[in-house]
């Protein structure tokens, strides 16, 4: 599994010893979980199940939701990357990110999502990538716009939830990609 490196982050394969930090920073935090399908904190064992899922997804498809590590401290920030949307009728792929609250507002989601799109289009030759954000999650919608995604409207066809749906095609990405863009 590849490691993606940005100015401040490493998007790297998961390790099982990430489970405690992932649980504490993400899965147990109600403020973070309200922006994920289901909307509520989950039990500790969910961290290991999620990490195992991310690892399998990466092995099978060549992309996944990577563990995001802050380069300056080595801290686990959260996850970011590309994943097949569960039960999507056309095997759509989503750029997704979830950061621990301590790392909100630093531009890390934009930085990681931008690197994920680059990987998806330039390394995996994907044709289209979606971005989904809950209707009331304006910061996430802002990230999706900043990375060049196009707003499609509100949808309930994924995760049995209502989302603001964004997308970008490979052609759109390549036409508008600015390698000097920053978060």
Residues in the chain: 183
Phi, psi of 53 (to 5 degrees): -60, -50
pLDDT higher at 89 or 82: 82
Q: Taking all residues of the chain, what is their mean pLDDT, rounded to a whole number?
A: 94
Q: What is the pLDDT of residue 145?
A: 97
Instruction: State the pTM of this model.
Output: 0.93
The pLDDT of residue 42 is: 96
CA distances from residue 84 to 20, 60, 61, 91, 129 in whole angstroms, order as listed: 25, 11, 9, 6, 10
Contact criterion met (CB below 8 Å) for 79 and 71: no
16-66 pLDDT, tens digit each: 999 999 999 999 999 999 999 889 999 999 999 999 999 999 999 999 999
- Identify the structural domains of the chain with CATH numbers, from first to last: 4-176 (3.40.630.30)
Residue 47's nearest CA partner among 108, 101, 100 is 100
Residue-wise pLDDT tens digits, 97-139: 999 999 999 999 999 999 999 999 999 999 999 999 999 999 9
């Amino acid at each position: 599994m590849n490691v993606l490196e940005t100015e401040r982050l490493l998007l790297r394969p998961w390790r099982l010893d990430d489970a405690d930090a992932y649980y504490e920073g993400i899965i147990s935090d109600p403020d973070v979980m309200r922006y994920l399908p289901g909307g509520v904190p989950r039990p500790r064992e969910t961290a290991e199940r999620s990490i195992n899922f991310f690892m399998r997804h990466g092995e099978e498809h060549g992309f996944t939701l990577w563990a995001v590590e802050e380069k300056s401290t080595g801290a686990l920030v959260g996850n970011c990357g590309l994943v097949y949307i569960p039960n999507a009728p056309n095997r759509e792929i989503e750029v997704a990110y979830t950061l621990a609250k301590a790392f909100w507002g630093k531009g890390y989601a934009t930085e990681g999502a931008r690197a994920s799109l680059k990987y998806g289009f330039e390394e995996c030759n994907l044709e289209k990538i979606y971005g989904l954000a809950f209707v009331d999650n304006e910061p996430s919608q802002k990230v999706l716009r900043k990375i060049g995604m196009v707003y499609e409207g509100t949808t309930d066809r994924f995760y049995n939830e209502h989302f603001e749906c964004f997308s970008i095609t490979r052609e759109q990405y390549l036409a508008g990609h600015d390698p000097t863009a920053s978060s």
